[in-house]
């Protein structure tokens, strides 16, 4: 049977939304590899953009690059010597060639390409591209690309797009399938019509060419200038769609019916509520907390449902503001649901809120997957019978058997851990109305970025810490100083304090310098011998994690060796030392969150960041944390250095649509796109006009794509 030389595919009725699994020639293995990159449909594939280009147009003389250091170059020459050897281990072969172009010679090296023994030989004319290094033996190239060039053939170079890849999926395969997808889409008028979401008037105002041209130019540009123009057009489009999604959600919320809070609208009821809020917590609320409570109260007394983001630094008191919202809902006769991403965090919220709200007559319950079947069934029954005012839980709140009698408020903590559809599922349990929604994040985000990322939400910011909270002293140290660091930890434990040691990896298989399992074993035998040391990581069972946290909170565990599972939600007042190993592997915002696990009590607290001195830039980055405890300043520095790609939760709130755009570098473009969207939705909120039909189709398609991602 003759083997096909290239994959073929069926022509489906709807190209852009067609899952790759239904495309002819795409094997299940290939579908799985693309899925790792977030590429699930044909539309995803053609919008899987290159992040750089290899320029194969300029051919260099070997003599001009022979003394270069770590330079990418293109060379054409004749192979004068060639050898190929098989190797043991993961890399199966090594090929070496001496290439002569008349101006000089270099040694070209390929690893793991056994077919070269048949393809190359002495006398072959070859094009090679790779990184040049100068050695005592002469110029050496590690070859990334090559092709055999016939004698007399004039090589016409090109710009080769380079894509984000995953193990087992080479760039040439991604490039080939994107080209085929573009060709198929071009052959289908319906798909071409759906390709461009920008109204013609917007394209004209900004002198943009259409999306079809931009997609062709970004994947196969004739020049770097053309690629830049295509990127500019597609970045605007991404921001335009992000803003349009937010505008559509806002419009939907504006037209929804909120639960009835009329009983709390009188001056007497509000005054009584304000007094109850002040007595709710065992401390005096900050001015920022009072401001946020006032913003929430105003929202919840309106006819349309609240949709608000509450963000604040570690320890700024978000839970107290959430408790005030629960109290208001209860006074109005409605139930509240408080959803947290982990059982540990849900348990801590339940233990903290239950007694405080209970003093105001509010009945609370816990609903997590780890409950015994009988306890869970009883809790679900009480929720349905309106015998519970507040239920704190995890994803268990979303199961079909959980029914609320009168859900008036949905609170989502650490909102970036939940998808948009999961939040919608919780709101849908209210039945005849849309409950007020409060989403919270402990990751400070500069206001301009928050307004871009969460454009469908009103924003409340806790920018003030409670009085008396002592700043954590932060130090940057090297691995050579670990002995002194661990001696200091032991000293703190001897004074009755507790400590954390955080590692970037769970075990040695993850190729980190320090792994949690290894460190736990080493420290138990060495620096922390005789102390009560425990291990906590994400691969442990829920019961194991809960038991470890119970022992830590109770003071039995003196030193906890952990991964970033302790990043949020862990509140141990007695913990005074946080040691982070391989700190250079973390973002600044994540390190700030880890630092926030200490300094929660009255004692002086310390955060020690251990990182190798690989570069002055890395050292300087970590010193930012040593210079400030302000999470908003840390976040701004983190985004400035790393870009918005590391922003917590972005994939869950629209950032997955930003394949090219960067919220730091391209923020002015977002502001332009948002202005266009605001004008469109002010005139046509339902997108019913013919001019906005393509935009409506694009938004509908993206919502279907989001559903596909959740169910995949």
Q: What are the residue ranges spanned by the domains of the chain?
A: 20-53+166-222, 58-157, 262-462, 473-644
**Superfamily assignment of 58-157 in CATH?**
Nucleic acid-binding proteins (2.40.50.140)
* C-alpha separations of 282 from 279, 392, 636 in Å: 7, 21, 33
The per-residue pLDDT for range 124-153, each reduced to its tens digit, is 999 999 988 888 888 899 998 899 998 888
* H-type alpha helices, 48-186: 62-65, 116-119, 171-186
- pLDDT of 313: 82
Residues 447 and 639: beta-carbon distance below 8 Å? no
The per-residue pLDDT for range 187-213, each reduced to its tens digit, is 876 677 678 999 999 999 999 999 999
Q: At what angle do helices 693-711 and 224-254 cross, to 10 degrees?
A: 80
- pLDDT of 8: 43
**Eight-class DSSP state of 636:** H
Query: Class assignment of domain 473-644?
Result: alpha beta
- Region 679-691 average pLDDT: 93
- pLDDT of 581: 93
Percent of the chain's residues with pLDDT above 70 = 90
CA distance 687 to 205: 20
Buried b (16+ CB within 10 A) or exposed e, 287-300: ebbbbbbebbbebb
More confident residue, 620 or 577: 577
The per-residue pLDDT for range 590-611, each reduced to its tens digit, is 898 899 889 887 789 999 999 8
- pLDDT of 629: 86
- Region 430-452 average pLDDT: 82
Helix (H) or strand (E) holding 439: strand 436-441
What count of other Cβ atoms lies within 10 Å of the Cβ of residue 700? Answer: 14
Largest CA distance in the chain: 96
- pLDDT of 12: 42
- pLDDT of 114: 87
Closest Cα to residue 283, out of 553, 469, 470, 442? 469
pLDDT over 70 (residue 467)? yes
CA distance 269 to 333: 13
- Report if pTM > 0.75: no
Give the three-state DSSP class for 585: helix
Percent of the chain's residues with pLDDT above 90 = 51
CA dihedral 418, 424, 425, 431 (to 10 degrees): 150
Q: Which fold has domain 262-462?
A: Rossmann fold (3.40.50)
pLDDT over 70 (residue 13)? no
Average pLDDT over the chain, rounded to an integer? 86
* C-alpha separations of 441 from 5, 84, 409 in Å: 52, 56, 17
pLDDT over 60 (residue 413)? yes
Question: What are phi and psi for residue 486, nearest 5 degrees?
Answer: -70, -30
- pLDDT of 513: 56
- Region 652-660 average pLDDT: 58
Common-topology check for domains 262-462 and 473-644 = yes
Q: Which residues, listed in sequence order, are joined to residue 335 by a DSSP beta bridge?
A: 407
More confident residue, 585 or 619: 585
* H-type alpha helices, 417-567: 420-428, 447-453, 482-494, 516-525, 542-553
**List of residues 6+ apart from 277 with CB closer than 8 A:** 285, 293, 324, 327
Residue 6's pLDDT band (boundaries 50, 70, 90)? very low
**List of residues 6+ apart from 266 with CB closer than 8 A:** none
Exposed, middle or buried, 212 (CB in 10 Å: 0-12/13-18/19+)?
Answer: middle
Q: Is the dihedral of CA 309, 315, 317, 319 positive or negative?
A: positive
Exposed, middle or buried, 655 (CB in 10 Å: 0-12/13-18/19+)?
Answer: buried
Closest Cα to residue 534, out of 545, 542, 543? 545
């Amino acid at each position: 049977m003759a083997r096909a030389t290239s994959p073929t595919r069926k022509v489906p009725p709807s190209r852009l939304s067609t899952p790759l699994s239904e495309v002819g020639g795409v094997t299940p293995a290939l579908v799985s590899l693309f899925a790792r990159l977030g590429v699930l449909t044909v539309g995803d594939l053609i919008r899987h953009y290159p992040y750089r280009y290899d320029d194969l147009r300029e051919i260099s003389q070997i003599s001009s690059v022979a003394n270069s250091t770590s330079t990418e170059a293109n060379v054409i020459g004749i192979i004068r010597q060639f050898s190929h050897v098989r190797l043991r281990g993961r890399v199966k072969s090594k090929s070496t060639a001496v290439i002569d172009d008349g101006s000089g010679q270099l040694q070209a090296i390929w690893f793991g390409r056994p077919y070269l023994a048949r393809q190359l030989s002495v006398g072959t004319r070859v094009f090679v591209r790779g990184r040049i290094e100068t050695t005592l033996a002469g110029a050496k190239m590690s070859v990334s690309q090559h092709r055999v060039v016939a004698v007399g053939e004039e090589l016409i170079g090109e710009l080769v797009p380079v894509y984000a890849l995953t193990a087992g999926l080479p760039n040439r395969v991604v490039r080939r399938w994107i080209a085929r997808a573009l060709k198929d889409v071009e052959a289908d008028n319906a798909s071409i019509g759906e390709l461009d979401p920008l109204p013609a008037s917007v394209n004209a105002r900004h002198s943009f060419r259409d999306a079809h041209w931009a997609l062709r130019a970004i994947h196969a540009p004739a020049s770097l200038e053309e690629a830049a123009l295509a990127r500019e057009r597609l970045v605007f489009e991404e921001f335009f769609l992000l803003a349009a999604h937010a505008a559509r959600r806002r419009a939907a919320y504006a037209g929804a019916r909120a639960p009835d809070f009329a009983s709390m609208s009188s001056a007497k009821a509000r005054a009584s509520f304000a007094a109850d809020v002040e007595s709710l917590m065992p401390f005096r609320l900050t001015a920022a907390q009072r401001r946020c409570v006032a913003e929430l109260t105003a929202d919840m007394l309106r006819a349309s449902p609240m949709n608000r983001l509450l963000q604040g630094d570690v320890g700024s008191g978000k839970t107290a503001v959430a408790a005030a919202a629960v109290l208001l809902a209860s006074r109005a006769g409605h139930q509240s649901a408080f959803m947290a991403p982990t059982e540990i965090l849900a348990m801590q919220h339940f233990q903290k809120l239950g007694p405080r709200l209970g003093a105001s007559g509010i009945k609370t319950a816990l609903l997590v997957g780890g409950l015994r079947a009988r306890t869970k069934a009883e809790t679900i029954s009480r929720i349905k019978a309106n015998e519970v005012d507040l239920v704190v839980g995890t994803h268990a709140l979303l199961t079909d058997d959980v029914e609320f009698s009168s859900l008036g408020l949905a609170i989502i903590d650490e909102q970036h851990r939940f998808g948009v559809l999961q939040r919608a599922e919780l709101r849908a349990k209210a039945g005849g109305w849309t409950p007020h929604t409060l989403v919270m994040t402990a990751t400070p985000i500069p206001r301009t970025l928050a307004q871009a990322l969460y454009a469908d939400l009103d924003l409340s910011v806790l920018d003030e810490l409670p009085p008396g909270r002592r700043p954590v002293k932060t130090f940057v140290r090297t691995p050579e100083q670990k002995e002194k660091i661990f001696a200091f930890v032991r000293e703190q434990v001897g004074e009755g304090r507790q400590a954390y040691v955080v590692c970037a990896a769970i075990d040695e298989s993850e190729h980190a310098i320090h792994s949690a399992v290894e460190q736990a074993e080493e420290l138990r035998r060495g620096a922390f011998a005789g102390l009560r040391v425990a291990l906590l990581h994400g691969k442990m069972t829920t019961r194991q994690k809960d038991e470890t946290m119970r022992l830590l909170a109770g003071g039995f565990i003196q030193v906890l060796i952990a991964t970033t599972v302790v990043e949020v939600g862990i509140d141990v007042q007695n913990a005074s030392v946080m040691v982070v190993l391989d700190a250079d592997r973390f973002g600044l915002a994540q390190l700030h969150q880890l630092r926030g696990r200490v300094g929660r009590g009255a004692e002086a607290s310390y955060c020690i960041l251990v990182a190798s001195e690989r570069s002055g830039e890395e050292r300087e980055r970590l010193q930012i944390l040593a210079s400030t405890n302000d999470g908003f300043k840390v976040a701004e520095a983190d985004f400035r250095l790393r870009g918005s790609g590391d922003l917590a939760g972005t994939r869950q709130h629209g950032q997955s649509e930003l394949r090219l755009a960067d919220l730091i570098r391209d923020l002015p473009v977002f502001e332009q796109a948002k202005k266009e969207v605001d004008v469109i939705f002010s005139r046509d909120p339902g997108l019913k006009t013919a001019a906005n039909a393509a935009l409506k189709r694009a938004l509908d398609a993206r919502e279907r794509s989001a559903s596909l991602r959740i169910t995949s």
